[in-house]
Amino acid sequence: MNAAPSVDKLPESIGAVIGAEPAVAVRLKRGMVLRDILSSPEWAEDWARQSDPTLKRLFACLLLRFGSTAFEEEKGAVEALKDGLHTGAEWRAGLARLRRAGVLFAIRKTWGDRLYYVPTDMAAVWQRLLLPANAEPLAAIESADVVPRPAPYRPTLALKLLSAWAFIGRKGLPLTAKGAISKPAAEKLASVMKIASEELAPLGLVYPQHDQQPAASALAVDLGLVTGVLKRMDGAIAVDAAGAAAWTANPIAFADAVLHRRILERYAASDPARHMAASAIADCRPDAWYRELEIARIGVRPIDVEVWLDLLAAFGWAEWGTIGNEGVFRLTVPLDISVFAAAEDETEPFHVQPDGEIYVPPGVGLAERWALEELAEPVSADRVYVYRLTKSAAERAYENGWPLERVRSFLERGSGMPVPGPVEDALRDWLRNLGKIRLEEAVLLRTDSAETASWLLEDAEIAGKLAERLGDRDFLVSRDALKGLEARLAKTGFKPSKPPAAPAEGTAASETADRNEASTEPGWIYCGTVLSFYEPDRSVVSDSELFPGLEQVPAAWFRKPGAYHATTRQELIRRAIGWRTALQLGDDEAEPDLFVPHSIDTHADSWEVRGRWKAREDQAGRGADTYETVSLPADRFGLVKIVLPQWDSPSVP
């Protein structure tokens, strides 16, 4: 779930706690609202700059292991404590602080278990701040030695989808009685996409009739629905004209960046390591070569990087190469949506040939390409797309609102040249007789006599809903007026004895839905990161929950190392064990020895403490399991204090 809907579901008490955080409070005073603040990269940068290293290190560990997938507290603790740098107390306090800051959100399952998650749209932001790859492009002299991997040209995903959605607009996409895409239609749609199912396997797509339909068709439908280009109908998937117009107004490069973000948030988010690798790759500059291993340095496996780069290559977004024995890659388009300061329209013209073929160079925009999909037959999709004007395509275009003058005007405007004479002659010949005859759907209203028919015409409301009189006793009624006419006839006592059948065509499930919310509506593919059906957690973590009995413990136990009686020392150590926190042994030093106690073993005349030494930052990565459990005798605790993690009680107005 993204940040904005997560904030919308927050209980008021939790929102008040988050609003008191310095990086949030200053923005609230400027007039920003909480949902916008917690979606803001600028707020995230401020938080990262102001937070202490321990908290950021804990969060980075969670991000690498869980990404934006929900996790239980205990599972998170296992991951966070692996490196030996943290104690259980630091973990619990850190979790509460991250939630209080608005970085982490909490929900509850139906049976009460608490889950935590990072909003999906913020995961990439946090990766750049806390797990930066800092990848450097190859120098020019090195780039000259790169051997690109031979591969055929592949249009970018924005262009593939445009062709697929236009295909749906021309042919329709019927659904079966069970709500799945019909198999023949799915296979035809996949052939337009030109992406093999095995290439999409890393996304792990789950959708209706998964075993019987190509993944490419499901991807096209899902992205069409969430971008608003497609809509669900009764028994079909269809093009939404307004949604298509809005989408094709985007520059191609911007559309590709939007699609990349959708793919990152909807599909990659279910695999945390791949999600982080994908986010790090997107931060690379296009048209520059990078070493694959530089991405893996954030903490993911090289295979996660390779698999994602393969997918980007299938989408026309990346190319592979080698330098020596090392794998390198480069992006062919910018994938970071934040680099687009303002949308700029492509202006390159297409070229209309006298034989009716139209050559479309790379710089032609989406809107012009969409119109060509409506006007002509697609011939080939390469760096230069080719379309052909045909009689059948012209007739289809006419039925969709393209009369001769509109076709001519578009071709001249898009090419910057007059329409070639042979093309205009052909268009005129194909379209000259269209529109002179048309078929319309209507309902026949039949009366028993001319007298009854005349009486109907005396009622002004009924007469206004009758389209045309046929003979003495019959009328044509348009379908738009049918419902109102039936109601009026029933009021006058002339309820029709046999109501007309409902239209066969599918009708839009909701024509009035807010198009701006299209991206939040369910798509076609099951998105494993949907958490909206869980209830938000309403509890605010308190001191007593983090450190039970804290108010009963002498402040001196935390202030500085002290020498205590054996009984007092044991009580102090048991407190530390219960809170799963560390003890400082000896005087205050620049880097004091910290010991994490697990248990006290008593003997007849002595006692000892079992536990492990707390790792320092320069020892990170060895793993907590490599820090052997040791036993320290009582005299090692001559000077001792409890070390509690940083924690300030939340203030709730």
pLDDT at site 333: 94
Residue 621 has pLDDT above 50, yes or no: no
Residue 543 has pLDDT above 80, yes or no: no
Indicate the residue type of 78.
V
pLDDT band at 590 (very low <50, low <70, confident <90, very high): low
Mean pLDDT computed over every residue of the chain: 87
Indicate the residue type of 183.
K
Residue 121: closest CA among 204, 280, 4: 4
Least confident of 147-151, 219-223, 411-415: 147-151
pLDDT band at 344 (very low <50, low <70, confident <90, very high): low
Give the integer Cα–Cα distance in Å for 105 and 181: 36
pLDDT band at 345 (very low <50, low <70, confident <90, very high): low
Give the integer Cα–Cα distance in Å for 247 and 158: 10
Q: Do the first three CATH levels of 3-130 and 252-339 match, i.e. the same topology?
A: yes
Give the integer Cα–Cα distance in Å for 282 and 290: 12
Give the integer Cα–Cα distance in Å for 506 and 238: 9
pLDDT at site 522: 64
Secondary structure (3-state) at 638: coil
What is the CB neighbour count within 10 angstroms for residue 653? 8
Dmax (CA) for the chain in angstroms is 119
DSSP string, 427-473: HHHHHTTTTSS-----EEEE-SSHHHHHHHHHSHHHHTT--EEETTT
Secondary structure (3-state) at 11: coil
Give the integer Cα–Cα distance in Å for 571 and 548: 14
Token look-up 């009764």 returns 234
| Residue that wins the pLDDT comparison between 406 and 539 | 406
Give the integer Cα–Cα distance in Å for 547 and 644: 9
Give the integer Cα–Cα distance in Å for 423 and 14: 67
Encode 12-33: b = buried (16+ Cβ within 10 Å), e = exposed: eebbebbeebebbeebeeeeee
Domain 3-130: CATH architecture, name and number where available? Orthogonal Bundle (1.10)
155-164: average pLDDT: 97
pLDDT at site 105: 94
pLDDT at site 609: 94
pLDDT at site 412: 96
Residue 626 has pLDDT above 90, yes or no: no
DSSP string, 63-99: HHHHTTS-EEHHHHHHHHTTTSS--HHHHHHHHHHHH
Encode 489-499: b = buried (16+ Cβ within 10 Å), e = exposed: beeeeeeeeee
Q: Where in the chain are the domains? A: 3-130, 157-248, 252-339, 351-429, 443-491, 543-643
Give the integer Cα–Cα distance in Å for 581 and 647: 13
Give the integer Cα–Cα distance in Å for 238 and 247: 15
Contact 292, 305 (CB under 8 A): yes
What is the CB neighbour count within 10 angstroms for residue 264? 22
pLDDT at site 532: 63
Phi, psi angles (nearest 5°) of residue 519: -70, -20
231 CB contacts (<8 Å, ≥6 apart)?
225, 237, 238, 239, 240, 243, 508, 509
Token look-up 């239980």 returns 72
Give the integer Cα–Cα distance in Å for 632 and 651: 40
Angle made by CA atoms 70, 71, 75, in degrees to the nearest 5? 165
Question: So what CATH class is 252-339?
Answer: mainly alpha
- Quick: pLDDT tens for 94-148: 999 999 999 999 998 777 788 999 999 999 999 999 999 999 999 999 999 999 9
- Quick: pLDDT tens for 416-433: 999 999 999 999 999 887
Secondary structure (3-state) at 4: helix
pLDDT at site 500: 45
